[in-house]
Amino acid sequence: MNSNSATQSSDLTVEKILRSSIRVSVTKTSGEQHYGTAFFFNFMINQSPYPVLISNRHVFENASEMSFFVNASCSNLSWAERCKHNEKKHLIYALPKIIFHPNPDIDLALFPMETTINQFAEQGISFVHWYLDESIIPSAQEWSRLLPLEDVIMVGCPDAIFDLKNNLALIRKGIIASHPAYDFNYKPVFISDIACFPGSSGSPILMRDTSPFFSDETLYLDSSRYALLGIQSRVFQHSENYFNNLAIAIKSTELLAFRNLLWS
């Protein structure tokens, strides 16, 4: 399997994070076409990475067809070389086999990518996308230390806008507006003050920490660490036609509920 191995937060860069998200086009059973964002993610199942695309339930629900572009390159090139030398491939899935979060009230779903990745790997081709993973989901102790006003970034395709030539999403910046240590209004969500529009649904929301830190007894002074805090779901509306830039994100810990579904 050619997805990246378990990610450490200190290994993440803006380039890798930018290459974690893609725009997805979904044709509903009603015939309507919708756009959203999905991001590549690795679960560790039986000590092996299991690659998936994560998005919202409302993005993938009732899909008769799903399509998206991926960047692909020769597997024997380094990551840096693959970022420079790759080509877009358009993948189309009829009646995609979506796995929904076991709690119907949680707006999360995933699409397994293992079969597709292995088919490309047999041809010596790897995707030039970075897989976020469980190692950057905050622990309960880490959640308890988080406070409002923390800087966050959202990587997605607002209004279905993305760099079509290079197949790259957009990065937006904001702050955590609600207290992240607590569930907002009895639900496992938090609120971000960040510009958000249709098409942003499914975008990963990450916190960037630029303070010095130790890892494996080494002091890092000029590096950044990232934590996956949530997945963008919906936005509060001031009126029918205006958004107020208060975005509702599902806490990333809800992703762990998929493990039992993938294990079986």
What is the C-alpha separation between 93 and 105, in angstroms, rounded? 26
Evaluate whether residue 7 is within a structural domain: no
142, containing H or E segment? helix 140-145
What is the C-alpha separation between 173 and 10, in angstroms, rounded? 20
CATH number for the domain harbouring residue 235: 2.40.10.120
The model's pTM is 0.89
Average pLDDT over residues 170-199: 94
Evaluate whether residue 52 is within a structural domain: yes
> For residue 239, what pLDDT is reported?
63
pLDDT tens digits, residue range 75-117?
888 888 999 889 999 999 998 899 999 999 999 999 999 999 9
Task: Give CA 119 to chain center in angstroms.
Answer: 23
Evaluate whether residue 1 is within a structural domain: no
Closest CA to 39 of 164, 169, 126: 169
Q: Which range marks the domain in which residue 78 is found?
A: 13-263
Tokens 């290079």: give the residue.
Answer: 166
Instruction: Give the chain's domain count.
Output: 1
Q: Which amino acid is at 68?
A: F
pLDDT tens digits, residue range 118-159?
999 999 999 999 999 999 999 999 999 899 999 999 999 999
What is the C-alpha separation between 133 and 201, in angstroms, rounded? 19
Evaluate whether residue 4 is within a structural domain: no
Radius of gyration of the chain (CA): 18
